[in-house]
A and B are shown apart, each in its own frame.
Chain A
Amino acid sequence: MTAADTLLSVKGLTKHFTLHGDIYSKLAGEKTQLLKAVDGIDFHIRRGETLGLVGESGCGKSTTARLVTRLIEPTAGQVTLKNQNLLAFSRKRLKEARKEVQLVFQDPYSSLNPRKTIMHILSRPMEIHGLARSWAEKREKVLELLRRVGLGIEHIDRYPHEFSGGQRQRIAIARALSVDPELVIGDEPVSALDVSIQAQILNLFRELQQELGLTYLFIAHDLSVIRHISDRVAVMYVGKIVETGPAAALFERPLHPYTKALLAAVPEADPAKPPPRLTLQGEVSTPIDPPPGCRLCGRCPRESNVCAEITPPLVDVGDGRQVACHNL
């Protein structure tokens, strides 16, 4: 892999939220707590590939999406976009970066402004980035976008409430495409949709990637969706990446106990497959003031003494796979 192949890389990316940090809490003697939403993660995405980021709710996947787009500012770490340090970007350069990286959100109902027509929603980004000058030019581009995402052109002057969830998600995708981005980040873009619609949208993502050579960071909690769409996968647990690797290998032979547990818990739509079960103990650990050591401590079937003290680093295990576990 050469550096030129890498579109986005993230090193030690960290976001801590402070709880009870203000003066009143201090006056009342409350302890300041740190919510370590994202705690030093590394990953990279190569041009043209899809990296799937999977984990349970609250593990920091969505925060990661917002950090790499600088919708929120990280506490520490580096984000490199096309070999440039995204965090050091000037206002102007950041605006350009907004054109290069686009987001598709989870909730198709709240991600479109209900008071704006589809024409406005899709042409506004072009306006901001000066991609289309005249009204007619914008109009033509918007119609082209609608066609591209499989919507009828007669939809252009309608409002979002006239569309179904799946159609809205198509509009949201069209908006992301309106600025010709290189990287599209999908933050659970199909989890609010019904199965039959979800399949349509997944196919659309695939088609667009092939047509436009897009790069995806695809975030989801549904493992089958991740398996389906991703080339490589990163598994997150409470602010940390515990395992990454090519999708096929990772799903066939998971190495980290958490990945194994996740896979075992999925109920597959096939009565012949083994029933879902949980191979871990207890419930998801808290990201608030987590103890040192591995985040899975206390739940893991393969725990040893060292786990409670030292956070396992993400180490290469060959075949492009990395795992953060002391007891492989």
Chain B
Amino acid sequence: MAETVPNTVLALDDLTVRFHLRRGDLTAVDGVSFAIERGQTFGLVGESGSGKSVTAKAIMRLIPDPPGEIPRGRILFEGSNILDKSNAEMRGLRGRHIAMVFQEPMSALNPVFTVCDQISDALRTNLGLSKAEARERVVELLSLVGIPSPHKRLDSYVHEFSGGMRQRVMLAMALSCNPGFLIADEPTTALDVTIQATILELITGMIERLGMSLLFITHNLGVVAHACDRVGVMYASHIVELGDKKEIFAHPQHPYTVGLLHSIPRLDGQAKYLTPISGSVCNMMEPPAGCKFHPRCAHAMDVCRREIPKLKEIAPGHLAACHLHDRGAA
């Protein structure tokens, strides 16, 4: 589906990721397709367990096999399929072309190496810098991401930084080898709201300044509203809605997106009662047949229980996977 026009950096086509666990098989990502344009920030939003992080790991080819498996789909990065690449080719891609920022810098950074050691290792491997050059570059990077007096913090360990500073270090590491494409997996979730604001500002600023493309994964619709250009909404391993940020917020089409937007309490204090989505997320080991959302959907019809809806264009650039729109289209 996703056309690989030259302006597309990354395109996912029918990506499916399955895990073979002791308790049974779990399809964490099911037929996900979307494309990210150059210089664009794509927000992938969904609740916990929806498969957004697995998608990110699949792009980085970090799904452990076993128990993971990618039975279907393509991940086209700059036009070539990541899944066909050899390990060596993949290593060349990682760090230099695609990099990733994780949610918990405390666990995503190695606890027994200093910050300088870790970042300069990447620099020396990818860019072939000498030890001294790498060290100098680390200082530059740290000051770039706003760590005060970086030459003093160079030889500190991760646990010696505060939460916000850790995420800056993580970002410095990801940016170290000038990748053109960044994946940020819930980079602000573990942070307090004031720190979240600064990190968000930092990431969006960096992306703009360095002309990068960004895949931003989050569960926070507020963050999406301000950091992204295009948005994909995931529910239970499927993308249920895809479109421009403004479209999605102004005219949400999928009942899940609508429900999500109605579930958020507002700062201006309107609405004494929220209209939440009823029930809870389905068990991914035994998902319901048909649309995964139908047990929670107020508009569920017979067809929803039988058939998995496909993503369909409703308005230009705005897609939703819901049988309600079949009727409208028909």
Consider the complex of A and B and state whether they touch directly, i.e. have CB atoms less than 8 Å apart: yes
B192 and A56: CB pair below 8 A? yes
**Is the C-beta of A319 less than 8 angstroms from some C-beta in chain B?**
no
**Is the C-beta of A194 less than 8 angstroms from some C-beta in chain B?**
yes
Which residues of B189-229 are within 8 A (CB) of A? 192-198, 200-201, 219-227
> A195-B47, A196-B259, A227-B265 are contacts. A276–B192 as well, Cβ < 8 Å?
no
A195 and B264: CB pair below 8 A? yes
Chain A hits for B162, CB < 8 A: 283-284
Which residues of A211-253 are within 8 A (CB) of B? 221-225, 227-229, 247-248, 251
**Is the C-beta of A85 less than 8 angstroms from some C-beta in chain B?**
no
**Is the C-beta of A6 less than 8 angstroms from some C-beta in chain B?**
no
**Is the C-beta of B111 less than 8 angstroms from some C-beta in chain A?**
no
Partner-binding segment picked from B65-73, B130-138, B266-274? B266-274
Give the complex CA separation of A74 and B3 in angstroms: 64
Taken residue by residue from 266 to 299, chain B's Cβ proximity to chain A (1 for < 8 Å, 0 otherwise) reads as 1111011111111011000000000000000000
Chain B hits for A277, CB < 8 A: 197, 201
CB < 8 Å neighbour of A284 from B192, B201, B262: B192
B272 and A283: CB pair below 8 A? no
Chain B hits for A290, CB < 8 A: none
- A258 to B, closest residue via Cβ: B194
Chain B hits for A275, CB < 8 A: 201, 226
A224 and B266: CB pair below 8 A? yes
B198 and A278: CB pair below 8 A? yes
A194 and B47: CB pair below 8 A? yes
**Is the C-beta of A271 less than 8 angstroms from some C-beta in chain B?**
yes
A271 and B192: CB pair below 8 A? no
**Is the C-beta of B125 less than 8 angstroms from some C-beta in chain A?**
no
Give the complex CA separation of A267 and B227 in angstroms: 9
Chain B hits for A268, CB < 8 A: 222, 225, 266-267
Which residues of A245-266 are within 8 A (CB) of B? 247-248, 251, 261-266
**Is the C-beta of B324 less than 8 angstroms from some C-beta in chain A?**
no
- B280 to A, closest residue via Cβ: A164
Chain A hits for B274, CB < 8 A: 199, 202-203, 228
CB < 8 Å neighbour of A223 from B193, B221, B260, B272: B193
A229 to chain B, nearest CB (A): 8
Chain B hits for A223, CB < 8 A: 193, 267
A283 and B195: CB pair below 8 A? yes
Give the complex CA separation of A197 and B264 in angstroms: 10
**Is the C-beta of B261 less than 8 angstroms from some C-beta in chain A?**
yes
Taken residue by residue from 235 to 275, chain B's Cβ proximity to chain A (1 for < 8 Å, 0 otherwise) reads as 00000000001100100000000011111111111011111
Which residues of A274-322 are within 8 A (CB) of B? 275-278, 280, 283-284
Give the complex CA separation of A202 and B272 in angstroms: 10
Chain B hits for A27, CB < 8 A: none
A196 and B225: CB pair below 8 A? no
B191 to chain A, nearest CB (A): 9
Give the complex CA separation of A165 and B225 in angstroms: 26
CB < 8 Å neighbour of B281 from A56, A194, A221, A283: A194
Chain B hits for A167, CB < 8 A: 280
**Is the C-beta of A206 less than 8 angstroms from some C-beta in chain B?**
yes
Chain A hits for B246, CB < 8 A: 271
A269 and B221: CB pair below 8 A? yes
Give the complex CA separation of A146 and B165 in angstroms: 44
Chain B hits for A280, CB < 8 A: 194
B156 to chain A, nearest CB (A): 15
**Is the C-beta of A32 less than 8 angstroms from some C-beta in chain B?**
no
B192 and A221: CB pair below 8 A? yes
B260 and A196: CB pair below 8 A? yes
B220, B221, B259, B267 — most chain A CB neighbours (10 Å): B267
- B261 to A, closest residue via Cβ: A269
**Is the C-beta of B164 less than 8 angstroms from some C-beta in chain A?**
yes
Give the complex CA separation of A265 and B198 in angstroms: 8
Chain B hits for A263, CB < 8 A: 267
Give the complex CA separation of A252 and B125 in angstroms: 53
A196, A222, A280, A283 — most chain B CB neighbours (10 Å): A196
Chain A hits for B266, CB < 8 A: 224, 227-228, 268
A155 to chain B, nearest CB (A): 13
7 extra A-B contacts, CB within 8 A, seeds A199-B276, A202-B265, A266-B193: A196-B277, A223-B193, A251-B267, A265-B197, A269-B225, A269-B264, A278-B201
Please list the 5 inter-chain residue pairs (A to B) with the smallest Cβ-Cβ separation, ordered nearest first.
A199-B276, A228-B265, A267-B222, A199-B263, A265-B197
What would 29 A/B residue contacts be, using CB atoms closer than 8 Å?
A: A164-B280, A166-B280, A194-B48, A194-B281, A195-B260, A196-B277, A198-B263, A199-B264, A199-B277, A202-B265, A221-B193, A224-B265, A225-B265, A227-B266, A228-B265, A228-B269, A265-B196, A265-B197, A268-B266, A268-B267, A269-B222, A270-B249, A271-B225, A276-B226, A277-B197, A283-B162, A283-B165, A284-B162, A284-B194
